[in-house]
């Protein structure tokens, strides 16, 4: 089962009115090292004293940190030469949140596919066992 999913994003910036369009590929599952690196990036953006961080700054740092390790391929608007991290130059928060929403939706979709496949396998096994019981009976 493929652990990378593609999404086409087409969103208009609420603040700038700019149009952001393009294809992204997202990891559906993160490794333990990805999760450690997300935390490390989050702390590097906000500093060591996280008690003094505002909610908006914490949320944006979380989104940018997560996307840094979830995106495997990005639309051209996502990257720029001056970036500290990809996406940090985008002034429209709704665009950042849309990309993040799509990344999370890929993860949820993948997990649902796994559950569905497991249920299908259980059903197949039950049918085979029932068939075996009928043959023996």
List, for residues 29-73, the tens digit of each pLDDT value. Answer: 999 999 999 999 999 999 888 888 999 999 999 999 999 999 999
Give which of 110, 108, 102, 109 is closest to 78, Cα–Cα.
102
* pLDDT digits 0-9 by tens, 72-92: 999 999 997 777 899 999 999
Are the CB atoms for 114 and 2 separated by under 8 Å? no
SS3 65: helix
Q: Rounded CA gap, 57 and 45, in Å? A: 9
Helices vs. strands in the chain: H and E counts, helices first: 3, 3
Mean pLDDT of all residues belonging to the chain? 92
**pLDDT value of position 116:** 92
The more confidently predicted of residues 88 and 129 is 88
Residue corresponding to tokens 């928060």: 93
């Amino acid at each position: 089962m493929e652990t990378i999913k593609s999404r086409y994003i087409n969103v208009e910036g609420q603040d700038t009115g700019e149009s952001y369009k393009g294809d992204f590929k997202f990891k559906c599952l993160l490794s333990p090292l990805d999760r450690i690196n997300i935390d490390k990036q989050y702390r590097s953006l906000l500093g060591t004293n996280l008690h003094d961080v505002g909610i908006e700054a914490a949320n944006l740092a979380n989104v940018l940190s997560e996307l840094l390790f979830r995106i495997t391929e990005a639309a051209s608007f996502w990257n720029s030469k001056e970036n500290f991290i990809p996406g940090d130059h985008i002034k429209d928060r709704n665009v950042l949140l849309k990309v993040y929403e799509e990344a999370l939706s890929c993860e949820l979709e993948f997990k649902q596919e796994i559950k569905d496949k497991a249920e299908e396998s259980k059903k197949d096994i039950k049918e085979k066992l029932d068939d075996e019981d009928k043959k023996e009976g």
